[in-house]
């Protein structure tokens, strides 16, 4: 019965009491190592209990947070990556998608340098009533899910039309309750559309 590696990766290796068989030895090592180039752990706690002295360059995947990390010689740090699916923002009645041909308003959550961040894209045609944005500027009828909400309000700049406006940008508040609220319209600033393209901020 072969033993397995001391890192908890389930890679078998032969013992001196095993019957000699070069093919079995080679196949066991290859089959064990091929799917384990990146070590997988249930959590950082499990990884810490398994790898007592990590070496620089070790790469692991943490299942509980879905994060790829590398040991840089002093700490485990996350890779910057973004493969999460774009999700459409459900707009409040009166607002319509593809403002100024900028596409469907969407968001996705990515990991940038170890920090969850939100990315936005698309455009929205704006609607006003008595000089004010509908729904007090809140554009999404369904709040962002809990894992897509910031720990504190994030105020970012978004581009807007210069038509019917003396400014070419507005503020967008990404709130802790999952609402997206436009700020800065009224008076001489009633732009017909806003663009979310290029917005990236930490959660």
Beta carbons of 187 and 170 less than 8 angstroms apart: no
Checking if the pLDDT of 30 tops 80, the result is no
Checking if the pLDDT of 19 tops 80, the result is no
pLDDT of the residue at 35: 56
CATH topology (fold) of 87-202: Immunoglobulin-like (2.60.40)
Domain boundary assignment for the chain: 3-78, 87-202
- Give the C-alpha separation, 169 to 189, whole Å: 10
The number of beta carbons lying within 10 Å of the beta carbon of residue 9 is 15
Tokens coding 176 = 């802790």
The number of beta carbons lying within 10 Å of the beta carbon of residue 82 is 12
Tokens coding 75 = 């700490």
Tokens coding 197 = 């393209």
**Average pLDDT of the residues in 171-184:** 98
């Amino acid at each position: 019965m072969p033993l397995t590696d001391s890192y908890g990766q389930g890679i078998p290796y032969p013992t001196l009491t095993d019957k000699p068989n070069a093919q079995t030895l080679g196949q066991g090592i290859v089959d064990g190592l091929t799917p384990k180039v990146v070590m997988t752990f249930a959590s950082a706690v499990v990884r810490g209990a398994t790898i007592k002295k990590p070496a620089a360059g070790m790469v692991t995947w943490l299942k509980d947070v879905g994060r790829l990390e590398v040991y840089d010689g002093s700490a485990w740090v996350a890779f910057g990556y973004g493969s999460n699916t774009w999700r459409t923002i459900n707009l409040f009645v009166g607002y319509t998608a593809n403002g100024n041909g900028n596409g469907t308003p969407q968001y996705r959550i990515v990991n940038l340098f170890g920090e969850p961040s939100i990315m936005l894209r698309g455009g929205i045609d704006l609607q006003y009533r008595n000089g004010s944005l509908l729904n007090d500027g809140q554009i999404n009828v369904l709040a962002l899910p809990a894992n897509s909400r910031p720990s504190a309000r994030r105020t970012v700049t978004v581009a807007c039309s210069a038509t019917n406006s003396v400014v070419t940008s507005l503020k967008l508040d990404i709130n802790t309750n999952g609402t997206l609220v436009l700020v800065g319209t009224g008076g001489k600033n009633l732009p017909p559309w806003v663009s979310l393209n290029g917005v990236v901020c930490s959660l």
